[in-house]
């Protein structure tokens, strides 16, 4: 009879341990299959990876920075490959913080997502000197009347 009471106490703990193992296995599978989507920002993807790390730690596991950095570098779109190569060349990846890796990729992302023809600040287009001069020449050429027949109907 006492064995049955002991079992009633132990059984829920065993079932919970089995559930935790199943959850960990499923979470590992989700982590393994996780990839950054083409239309996803670096912040969004880093947030998903961080959330996965938190879920895993809630189940008693750990995803350290090295594992997160490796996952990040292995699963971002191809256009990040050049910046990743630079980071790998200049940083010790075993000591690189996940946040630092994300920040490096965000800088690259922000630079490559600038609109063609200049950057914008508060919705205003910024041009470099060469672009400004080209626009001015174009505007002068269009306003000079070249190629247009003069409008004589307004003359009196």
Q: 11-21 pLDDT, tens per residue?
A: 776 766 667 78
What is the spatial distance between Cα 61 and Cα 122, in angstroms, rounded to a whole number? 44
What is the spatial distance between Cα 57 and Cα 61, in angstroms, rounded to a whole number? 5
Specify whether the CB–CB gap between 101 and 95 falls below 8 A. Answer: no
Single pTM value for the model: 0.62
**Average of pLDDT values for 81-93?**
93
Q: What percent of the chain has pLDDT over 90?
A: 40
pLDDT on residue 156? 46
**Residue that has been written with the tokens 């009196």 in this structure:** 156
Domain boundaries, the chain: 2-113, 115-146
């Amino acid at each position: 009879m006492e064995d049955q009471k002991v079992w009633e106490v132990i059984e829920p703990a065993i079932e919970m341990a089995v559930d935790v193992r199943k959850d960990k296995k499923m979470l590992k599978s989700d982590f393994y299959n996780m990839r950054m989507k083409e239309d996803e920002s670096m912040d969004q993807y880093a947030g998903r990876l961080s959330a996965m790390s938190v879920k895993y730690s809630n189940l008693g596991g750990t995803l350290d920075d090295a594992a997160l950095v490796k996952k990040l570098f292995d699963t971002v779109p191809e256009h990040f490959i050049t910046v990743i190569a630079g980071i790998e060349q200049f940083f010790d990846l075993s000591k690189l913080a996940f946040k630092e890796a994300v920040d490096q990729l965000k800088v690259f992302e922000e630079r490559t997502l600038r609109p063609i023809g200049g950057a914008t600040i508060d919705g205003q287009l910024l041009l470099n000197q060469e672009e400004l001069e080209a626009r001015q020449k174009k505007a002068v050429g269009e306003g000079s009347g070249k190629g247009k027949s003069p409008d004589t109907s307004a003359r009196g």
